[in-house]
Amino acid sequence: MDFRFSPEDEAFRIELLDFLRRELPDDWEGLSRWAEEADWDFTRAMRKKLAARGWLTMHWPKEYGGQEVSPIRSAILNEEMSYHRAPGRDIFGVRMLAPTLMIYGSEEQKERFLRPVARGEVQWCQGYSEPGSGSDLASLQTRAVSDGDDYVVNGSKIWTTMAHQADWMMLLARTDPDAPKHRGISFLLVDMKSPGVSVQPVHNMTGGHDFNQVFFDNVRVPKANLVGEENRGWYVGVTLLDFERSGIDYSATARRLLDELTEWAKSTVMNGRPVSEDPQVKNDLVERHMEAEAARLLAYNVAWMQGQGLVPNKEASISKVFGSETLQRVTSTAMEVLGLYGQLRPGDRRAPLMGRVPENWMFSFSHTIAAGTSEIQRNIIATRGLGLPRG
């Protein structure tokens, strides 16, 4: 196995880093909150610049606006963008919806929905979880009732990231209430400007506004927006999850925080010596660095498989559970190394690392829940990876 990148991929990384140095402010520390309009305007502007260079959709087929390069190239983009906390990527449209449509969508749907994503013109969100349906996703109760050329949708979705900025939603809804719960579900594409759609913000414990609850009150969705077969949307939906779980963001975020923490430990003297010379601190930092590198390699393995025309399943779950839990361990270690100062939030002049650590620590818990909990990932690894019987 060759772990080296190709010369072309290395050249792209250098070009990307040069682009980020030019486009990001010198004192760039990342967006403060998604909900702030100034941040959102900057995000959209950066996305348009990425799209203009063809970087948003490099691994797509050319007929849909791509360059047909290896998904490894897109993984490099995602890694560096995450590491530098740079805005502009389109996780929902590019990583999740597009590859799913390429498998299950009609030619008309591909032509209609993929090109705006490739141009960086549209924001998507994901309508999966409901107030009463989390890990047991197949128990969802949002209804889509056939009425002529439309479905009439009623129900609610929650934890819907970016719904307050989204133009469209990829929605799972029950179209046959009498079918077994994994079968009577359909995958619909919903215009968020449709009459009857309302969005209520959900603020997380860091004070940020990523999440929302979305309500559907007799929302009409054209049947032309059904992806795949009616009542067989579960298979479409879980394919999308495999693409969602294959991100490299966890390891890149962990490595950035570890690099900053390591520099802080080297330059901060306590009890007459640098913090980094403490045996426990040194051991913890080494272990976290090794775990972050392992998580990185697992994510690149998923990208390599996608480049071979495969849809990673258990491999995506392995990458997701290990990556998200690695990030959680990294933030916990950072809190321990910083001690009581690690509790100081952004804006406090005494806060190490600009107060980023407690926010990262609190948010890290959501990573082991979103896109399928760690328990769900381990079930997938056990049954589909190791062939173990269901409990």
Catalytic residue among 80, 244, 315, 325: 244
Alpha helices (H) in 67-199, listed in sequence order: 71-83, 98-104, 107-118
336 is catalytic: no
Residues catalogued as catalytic: 244
